[in-house]
A and B are shown apart, each in its own frame.
Chain A
């Protein structure tokens, strides 16, 4: 096995450092906003209801946006080993992203927009008196800028992959699936994953841009109306796929680093390639599981929403997580903070999928939809799944590209983060189990006890995140200025 780590251009290393830093910093900030919302729901502080929903809007939007920025950094960093990427596009995405963020923040905090990340039509134009066109325009316009930036990024990734491999079919390994080419020559996992993410995200971002533009027109010309059910489909197709893609970009870290930590190969064998093709299809078409309570939807779409949501669990449960377990089993791996986060992300992904599969069951969704059960699922999945990959990448960059050594505080924060997210997610799932609705600023007394538990664990996780970000900020200026530490003789990280 070559050492591709050293093949990464120092400029690429420095290129991804700032977005990863921003990602970590804003995820911390969004976590702090989350704790404030829980404090309010637990009746421990009083914030006005308008501010609660503004925080809710930025919490959801910001978490997904900044996690996607960090995960795109992971993909760009490792993919640059295999294909020629144009760094200008990465920079343009970053500029559009930051402009979009400013627009979203001004829309929310200066002009009181609080339509939620879902901005369900026609809510942006019918706020019930809370915000006016300016707030909605800045929010929707900011989202559009962010979406256009990411669209350019994924078009560039697609261009680079197709230039090298000829087509998406080739880079997904279809000739290898059908036995037309040898398994050994299949594209590396990073290329396969990047292809999948490009396909699903280009689809998602076009759907998102379409509904954002239509909503913007509706703001100023109310006679231009949209079918509310079509709007909902476009919004959830965009939101579900884009949020989902974060973990599929982040998992590239797992594919790249576990082989180096264990000295064992992780190749794109046939089942692996089949799983990624299935994930590509499932990720695009399972979004109707967000619409199971829209009874006017065609029944077949809702049934597909349930059945394929079940099936969508299989690729990770059978291939990726199982592969991770197999590669570390009796490998003599050295557990440092980076490798620990990589393994944690596999655990978080798997247990995060469980409540999601349960909630995708139509008869369960009938009493769980839009309850706290849903945040219970995605705080597990995003918290110790996707975010663990981003934090793992932060620790990877500072260790291998800036010579950081693990400290006691890193290990303590790692365990605090796990305990924090597990406790927080359990409090949400329990709340869902007792029928507490989600997105409610105030809770009745029966619902408050789990919120207090959530405040405690959420605070622990937030403080741990602060430590990770602080450690990264302090060391990040060295990234790209030193050689990667890798033991050539053992072909394994020591």
Chain B
């Protein structure tokens, strides 16, 4: 599977889905436990609060640490700046317009590094690079008056789909373009 250069892991979507399911299940268990223990009355609410605040301190530290750790782990390799290995990348101009894409070149090579400079002639669009399995590899917005640059290295040959990922009008879903990677 081809991946953007900055992407270290094999796939981001699947872990996102699994983490969501796992954490949601944990939340469900906590709510279920509390609701199961809600019908009997304990008059000493101060006692419950005291215990609850102690647990909350631990919970806060854990949650804060996880979020802080996730921040440091994920923020080190952002897609915004040109990575050093892309200094000599092939520059490709891409223009979006209702409802199609205009590429300065249509054929690409495996292992080559490309910097796609994306803009729009009319309204906002979004450029999404999809592989042959229709998995989204990377994207950026295509905006009038601005140029966003996205860095891509294709790792496998095939026909890649370019899909519009910002709603741009009645034929938005027809704004598909194919590029060939050899």
A joins B in a complex:
yes
Residues of A within 8 A of B38 (CB): 328-333, 335
Residue B83 at the chain A interface, CB threshold 8 Å: no
**Contacts A/B (CB < 8 Å), 9 sampled:** A114-B169, A127-B169, A299-B81, A302-B78, A310-B71, A317-B63, A333-B38, A433-B13, A435-B136
Known contacts A325-B31, A332-B39, A435-B130; decide if A128 and B6 are in contact (CB<8 Å).
Answer: no
CB proximity to A under 8 Å, residues B143-182: 143-150, 163-173
Shortest beta-carbon distance, B129 to chain A, in Å? Answer: 10
Which residues of A are at the interface with B, using a C-beta cutoff of 8 A? 49-50, 53, 56, 114-116, 118, 120, 122-123, 126-130, 227-229, 232, 264, 293-296, 299, 302-303, 306-307, 310-311, 313-314, 317-318, 322, 325-326, 328-333, 335, 343, 346-347, 350-351, 354-355, 357-359, 361-364, 366-371, 373, 429-430, 432-435, 437, 439-442, 444, 446-447
Give bound CA distance, A307 to B68, whole Å. Answer: 9
**Which of A264, A314, A343 is in CB contact (< 8 Å) with B35?**
A343
Give bound CA distance, A123 to B142, whole Å. Answer: 13
Residue B88 at the chain A interface, CB threshold 8 Å: no
A123 in contact with B17 (CB, 8 Å): no
Which residues of B are at the interface with A, using a C-beta cutoff of 8 A? 4, 6-7, 12-14, 16-17, 19-20, 23-24, 27-28, 30-31, 34-35, 37-42, 45, 48-49, 52, 56, 59-60, 63-64, 67, 70-71, 74-75, 77-81, 98-99, 122-124, 126, 128, 130, 134-141, 143-150, 163-173
Given contacts A314-B67, A361-B74, A370-B128, 7 further A-B contacts (CB under 8 A): A123-B124, A128-B168, A228-B143, A330-B41, A335-B38, A435-B135, A439-B172
Give bound CA distance, A78 to B19, whole Å. Answer: 38
Give bound CA distance, A444 to B134, whole Å. Answer: 9
B75 in contact with A326 (CB, 8 Å): no
Shortest beta-carbon distance, A215 to chain B, in Å? Answer: 12
A-B contact count (CB 8 A): 233
Known contacts A354-B27, A366-B4; decide if A441 and B173 are in contact (CB<8 Å).
Answer: yes
Shortest beta-carbon distance, B127 to chain A, in Å? Answer: 9
Residues of B within 8 A of A129 (CB): 170
**Which of B17, B60, B173 is in CB contact (< 8 Å) with A442?**
B173
Residues of A within 8 A of B98 (CB): 126, 128
A332 in contact with B122 (CB, 8 Å): no
Residues of A within 8 A of B19 (CB): 354, 358
Shortest beta-carbon distance, B38 to chain A, in Å? Answer: 5
B20 in contact with A354 (CB, 8 Å): yes
Give bound CA distance, A158 to B171, whole Å. Answer: 44
Residues of A within 8 A of B163 (CB): 437
Shortest beta-carbon distance, A435 to chain B, in Å? Answer: 4
Known contacts A228-B146, A351-B27, A433-B14; decide if A116 and B167 are in contact (CB<8 Å).
Answer: yes
Residues of B within 8 A of A264 (CB): 45
Known contacts A314-B64, A363-B6; decide if A50 and B17 are in contact (CB<8 Å).
Answer: no
